[in-house]
Structure 1
Amino acid sequence: MIEIDDTDRALLKALSDDADASAGALGAKLGLSQPATWRRIKRLKEAGAISGTRVQLDAQALGFGVTVFLGVKLGTKGQASLGDFERAVSAIPEVQTVEHVLGAYDYRLRVVARDLSDFERVLRRRIMLLPGVASLDANVLLSEERLSGPL
């Protein structure tokens, strides 16, 4: 674990708000020089506190109007069966996240589809045919009140 100070926290917050901001712009916002800001960013990246940047796509704007969370219970849970399931489910483009969880289900999937009939197609032709699947539980996303943000 890396030691971070208040300036690092402010820098991480600013980067999470705008990952495209230049070191100069971030430094001006935080009262640091561009080189000092760049060194801090570099140190945070090298320590693994910043693992990368990415573009946040809006599924709705891209025509994916339905998001479903699936709880997946596997029939068998050996190392091989977990690996087989993870490899197969990761190959389905509509599955946005695969989370191995503890509780009522073994996995939690976030699945996007154009509409409910498209989701049904993905469910019947892909997800229900995954190796080891014993049961599924679906929850349709109605609205997202808070998107993931900084820690």
Structure 2
Amino acid sequence: MPDSTDRRILRQLLAEPEASNAALAERAGVTTAALWRRLERMREAGVLRGVQARIDWRAMGWAVEVSLRVTLDKTNPRAFDEFLAALRQVPEVIEIQSFLGSVDWRASVIARDMAHWQQVYRDRILTLPHIAELDALMLVATIKDSGELAL
């Protein structure tokens, strides 16, 4: 379990993930060697799962983002596996999540514009197998997207 120093390091890492280890160590109040050891220990414990780039799809020309909520026809025992395999083949799908409850799957889909979205929806989404219910929610604004908790 991370202690107060680990949480301080994590706060600094979240605030500026591209900072050097020396800068992170200074802001967290530890030596560079201690920072490295603590980061390595948190990686081994699964607290840190890696560092990843976050792409702003809108800046890359993908202006439309839609959240799909899907409920499957569960009368087919292979419905989940077949649906997931087909959904993974849609290149515009950037995130897939599975749920317990009335919604089985949620997927984030991006498109260049509304015409592209209509094509993806008609040709790739509506042809997915075993869909009983499908709800498409168009993203208007992202209010919070930090993934942070109070450390």
Is TM more than 0.5 here?
yes
* Deviations 1:12-41 (CA, angstroms, capped at 9, x unpaired): 121122222222111111111100000000
Select between 41-50 and 93-102 the one with higher mean Cα deviation: 93-102
Shift of 1:83: 1.2
Instruction: List gaps (5 residues or longer) in structure 1.
Output: none
Paired residue for 2:6, among 5, 8, 31? Answer: 8
Percent of aligned pairs with the same amino acid: 37
* Letter matched to residue 42 of structure 1: E
Pair 1:135 & 2:133 matched: yes
Alignment of 1:50-61 (within 5 A): 50-61=48-59
Structure 2 Cα separation of the partners of residues 70 and 97 of structure 1: 10
Q: 2:86 matched to which residue of 1?
A: 88
Q: 2:33 matched to which residue of 1?
A: 35
RMSD, aligned CA? 1.4
Aligned residue pairs total 149
Shift of 1:149: 2.4
SS in 2 for 1:109: strand
Shift of 1:86: 1.2
SS in 1 for 2:55: coil
Cα distance, 1:61–1:77 mapped onto 2, change above 3 Å: farther
SS in 2 for 1:96: strand
TM-score normalised by length of structure 1: 0.91
* Deviations 1:17-66 (CA, angstroms, capped at 9, x unpaired): 22222221111111111000000000000111011111111111111111
Instruction: List gaps (5 residues or longer) in structure 2.
Output: none
Structure 1 Cα separation of the partners of residues 10 and 64 of structure 2: 32
TM-score normalised by length of structure 2: 0.91
SS in 1 for 2:78: helix
Cα distance, 1:18–1:8 mapped onto 2, change above 3 Å: same
Paired residue for 1:47, among 40, 45, 63? Answer: 45
